[in-house]
Structure 1
């Protein structure tokens, strides 16, 4: 009888719905899984393959595409695929390809069907998953998530001449007409100006109230996208005001619906790759906040949303590198452009500065270094123009310090590890989040493994890194409250980045260091730390759940700002949350504080 693989069994215990199976059955199922190591780019599951089995991602990433090659979803650890073909529901026309090297567990089809038949909770999970519509299906979106911008309105006494100018200047095709209390009275569109004013020879000073459509059809923010489609088709209208108890809160147009269906990370990356100028790329990246709001509204997991948004930054960087080489000529020696910070961790949201560096082959001459200095400026300037603003701390390849030969970089890490002063701790924390973006990857892969091995073996360095990681604390106040910012523009708000996610990123980095884990993404680090025994299973589960809640809350707050016509930021007012949400958010911060405390006492991890 085949022995149970302890690593597979431990992994399944952390994956729903396997955690619902009886222990003996779970052990049997663990023996039934086949382990596959799949290289990046290799097809795992082909179109119409209905008997291959159920696939479960243990590590790495998988791209799911439809029969036309369009990206359907990106899967990570604990996600499964292939069940649709097994359940014969007509949705098997997809292909799964490894987006990076990954470990896949495959459960043979007969074993999957035994579990479906024997365990209702297991069957409910896959039947519910099978029946789910894509999150980007417009018919299932809430109206509030489809609103692209804050509504533009005017009073009924405004002259049509001024209304036309308002629409022109704001690049919109309609205005809500409201009274002094914000109650919707009517609607005026560009078409109304044409048919009711110009075509009838009315004076440009005519009040809007005389030509508006009175008491237009409206929908509440709680309605669904299907309601919009039905109303527009039934009433043959292209503009639909959204009201809450009579107050105008938004406007949905046919253009918004088209834009929602057209904006995706794949489309934006395609447009970036085809851009001929920096200005064209900037026009593409300007759509990122809308994409963020759309992804959050579509209930995508936070790690998928941030991954998709980061992919766009990666594409922009690579296109700028191509432009730089076209302008300067081919690089004289191999080089590698790397990102650190949120881009390095693949955790970008609707706002980000740039953090990057260049590693250059040791064969580079002093003259060659002038080439790379010029290349760095072209790329960094281009990133700034595309909304990835210059790093306030000058952590960019344009700084001589961060544009160096490989041997110099090796010397940097050697000094930081052997003499971990305050600056060394800070710089090492940043540079442990490096991720290759464009160029020759080998310039960093060997260096990374060397550094992890040496750093993890230096207990003094690790202790200093732990001390540095504990400087950012969760915003916990007394009596189950929050410690909010006390003054300034963001008074009574929580900084969801510095006090919410940075402490978790710091913990993930320490666990990666202790376990010599190559992962850079925070969630991937926490998962790998659990699988590698760096932290206990229970501690890892609590920490991952806390991370998920904090990250989701931050993204939802940013999406809300985008929908209200404001720029996304990292600040959240606890008063904007319900009692239930505040309670759970505070519990998540308590988990982070507890894990920090364990780390500071040297129990780190398995305690």
Structure 2
């Protein structure tokens, strides 16, 4: 049965990405759709069946289940489904049934693929991979909105120059916007700088009560947030100005200064690592690590891939740890026996973001004696305290080298892993999950190499241990709701948000760890583990690629959310409000969570792949 073309056209005009099509193309596409009606419970397609086309819900609801029958999503009007199978091999990757009386439109597969090839909007919407996106970090090509590093700071025109000076001093800035109401985002009237206060107030012996309006630069030249870094450079050089306000329809939204430009060029992970290497104490290193949020925002704004960003941020933590170890040895003398400092958690996986605590331990040479232990206890306290001062706060679970249990000879560590694998109770599963992410940071790396190889061999051969670890990995699930797409936090400070760490990144991290155990893979990094699992045949090529794409999207959106917080002057965290996302972003984030849940279901049923 064919829906009337005008009705389909009118409906498609309300659905992205069809709303981006030219009128003639939209009308042609509308004529290609066929209409299907389903009663509750009716099968639309089953897993593994050839797909005739892309499905679009006009009214009603559709229930999507994975190959094992587990519910992964409940879709409603304007949601599409079936695209993943079409883009892969033409076979259904899930099963779809009507959950209520429904009208579903179907676009033939050939028409769908033609649109993917001919329309950028379609390609962007239906292809979750970001591999083809430009990743240039050239300042001149960046948008001003990605360069702004702090929230706007303003005062009213009748504020005194003394008040303005105190505002600049307290915020450690060299200029203020002057707005009609004195508030950030108000209508911009002018700007006042430290040079204005020096040249027009102090040099002329004016009264500190002088209104800012008398010394400010009125109606200053400005740019919008859609301008490029090259525009900023050109305007500053042409006008010989050191402060450039950024406006949105005349409203003050931020300031870019020559200092910002210098800092932007200087703030790189390599530069921060260099400064850490020359620090004489933890206090100096803390001044360096305080710039990590700015580095995060800069790297996100430069369109670097998430794994590049987290690697560069982790490099700084590694450098801080190694410098603290060197300072500890200077303070306490050379170690009595060889030792190895290791990181676990996000540092161990090289996946640190703007929010990180410390997780670490020490392996000591088996020749260590009880008389040697005070040295290592002092060293552990020195390094752990220094990390805490640098912003890597103490682990709430005391998973640190300062805990005697986690500062032991190599043979004790071998016994730990043997016990956890032989008797995988709840604590063993938790500890194994942490300790299988170990990565050497400083000291004798050979102390870990043999332990790691032996442990992976034992773990892979023990099917009971692997089964328990799989069960443990399924405790964190993607935040998929049945009605609105996401299951958000219901109360408290983060009400109506989703936790992009515990319910986004962690479920993939847990799956990747299982694949690493099954494949005896040595990398600790999640993405490297997924790629290794594909190469080793632990999971199928399609399963691995789907999960990698899903992980890339989830991890990237987490970092983008943190960068937004940094640029607004707030501390980065892991919470994201779906309501802040566009329909496009919500749709793809939901699809990514569906992939993760499907892979969890496959792991729980003893299968490693989708399709």
Range into which the TM-score falls when normalised by the shorter chain = 0.7 to 0.9
2:161 is aligned to: 160
RMSD of aligned residue pairs (Cα, Å): 1.4
Name the structure 1 match of 2:263: 259
How many angstroms apart in 1 are the aligned matches of 2:535 and 2:598? Answer: 20
Instruction: Tell me by how many angstroms 1:508 deviates.
Output: 0.2
1:295 aligned onto 2:295: no
1:65-104 aligned at under 5 Å gives the runs none
Q: 1:492 to 1:133 in 2, by over 3 A?
A: closer
Q: Deviations over 1:294-348 (max 9, x none)?
A: 1111111110110011011001101100011111110111110000000000000
Deviation string 1:126-170 (CA, Å, 9 cap, x unpaired) is xxxxxx998332111111111121111111111111111111121
* Residue number in structure 1 paired with 2:430: 426
For 2:143, the equivalent position in structure 1 comes to 142
Aligned to 1:200: 204
SS where residue 374 of structure 1 aligns? helix
Aligned mate of 2:417, from 386, 408, 413? 413
Match of 1:379 in 2: 383
The answer for the alignment partner of 1:25 in structure 2 is: none
In structure 2, what is the Cα distance between the partners aligned to 1:345 and 1:134?
23
Per the alignment, residue 360 of structure 1 pairs with 364
TM-score by length of 2: 0.77
Distance 1:235 1:578, change over 3 A: same
Cα distance in 2 for partners of 1:281, 1:477 equals 44
Aligned to 2:171: 170
Q: Is the Cα contact below 8 Å between 1:480 and 1:586 reproduced in 2?
A: no
SS at match of 1:377: helix
CA contact (8 A) 1:320 1:378 kept: yes
Q: Which residue of 1 aligns with 2:494?
A: 490
Q: Please state how far the C-alpha of 1:539 moved relative to its aligned partner.
A: 0.4
Spell out, residue by residue over 1:245-271, the C-alpha distance to the aligned partner (whole angstroms, 9 max, x if none): 221111000000000001111111111
Partner of 2:231: 227
User: Is 1:515 matched up with 2:515?
Assistant: no
Contact 1:332 1:368 (8 Å CA) reproduced = yes
Match of 2:597 in 1: 593
**Equivalents in 2 of 1:213, 1:606: separation in Å?**
63
Alignment of 1:446-485 (within 5 A): 446-485=450-489
Which stretches of structure 1, 4 residues or longer, exceed 6 Å deviation after superposition?
none
User: How many equivalent pairs are there?
Assistant: 477
1:319 correspondence with 2:323: yes
Rounded to whole Å, the distance in 1 between the matches of 2:418 and 2:196 is 71
Alpha carbons of structure 1 residues 493 and 134: separation in structure 2 relative to 1, 3 Å: closer
The aligned counterpart of 1:179 is: 180
1:500 is aligned to 2:504: yes
SS in 1 for 2:254: strand
Alignment-derived partner of residue 444 in structure 2: 440
Contact 2:540 2:608 in 1 (8 A): no
**Per-residue CA shift, 1:559-589, capped at 9, x if unaligned?**
1111111111101111111100010000000
Q: Deviations over 1:390-424 (max 9, x none)?
A: 00000000001100011111111111111110000
Contact 1:534 1:606 (8 Å CA) reproduced: no
Find the partner of 2:252 among 248, 251, 256. 248
Take 1:138 and 1:594, find their aligned partners in 2: how far apart are those partners? 40
**Residue 601 of structure 1: CA displacement?**
1.0
Counterpart of 2:488 in 1: which secondary structure?
Answer: coil
**Paired position in structure 2 for 1:277:** 281
Cα distance in 1, alignment partners of residues 586 and 610 from structure 2: 29
Work out the CA distance in 1 between the residues paired with 2:137 and 2:601.
Answer: 41
Please give the alpha-carbon distance, in whole angstroms, between the structure 2 residues aligned to 1:543 and 1:380: 35
How many angstroms does 1:383 deviate by?
Answer: 0.4
1-structure distance, mates of 2:258, 2:586:
37
Offset, 1:604: 2.6
Deviation (angstroms), 1:605: 3.7
Structure 2 unaligned spans of 5+: 1-132
Residues 1:550 and 1:440: Cα distance change in structure 2 (over 3 Å): same
1:562 match: 566
Cα offset, 1:523, TM superposition: 0.2
Q: Quick check: 1:285–1:387 contact (8 Å CA) kept in 2?
A: yes
Offset of 1:606 from its aligned partner?
A: 7.2
Spell out, residue by residue over 1:92-122, the C-alpha distance to the aligned partner (whole angstroms, 9 max, x if none).
xxxxxxxxxxxxxxxxxxxxxxxxxxxxxxx
Please tell me whether residue 370 in structure 1 is matched to residue 383 in structure 2. Answer: no
Give the direction of change, closer, same or farther, for the CA distance of 1:453–1:605 in structure 2 (3 Å limit). farther
Q: Is the 8 A contact 2:599 2:610 kept in 1?
A: no
Contact 1:151 1:249 in 2 (8 A): yes
After TM superposition, give the deviation of residue 185 of structure 1 in Å: 1.2
| Secondary structure in 1 matching 2:223 | coil
Asked which structure has the greater CA Rg, the reply is: 2
Partner of 1:390: 394
Q: Report how far residue 492 of structure 1 moved.
A: 0.6
Deviation at 1:201, TM superposition (A): 2.9
Equivalent residues in 2 for 1:22-33, closer than 5 Å: none
State the partner residue of 1:545.
549
Distance (whole Å) between structure 2 residues aligned to residue 594 and residue 487 of structure 1? 28
The residue matched to 2:224 in structure 1 has which SS? Answer: coil
Q: Is the 8 A contact 2:135 2:303 kept in 1?
A: no
Shift of the alpha carbon at 1:192?
1.2
Shift of 1:244: 1.2
Q: 2:342 aligns with which of 338, 341, 352?
A: 338
- Please give the alpha-carbon distance, in whole angstroms, between the structure 1 residues aligned to 2:301 and 2:164: 32
Cα gap change, 1:133 to 1:531, in 2 (>3 Å): closer
Q: After superposition, what is the alpha-carbon deviation per residue over 1:25-75, rounded to whole angstroms, capped at 9, x for unaligned? A: xxxxxxxxxxxxxxxxxxxxxxxxxxxxxxxxxxxxxxxxxxxxxxxxxxx
Q: CA deviation at 1:480?
A: 4.8
1:53 corresponds to? none
Distance, in Å, in 2 between the alignment partners of 1:193 and 1:326 is: 47
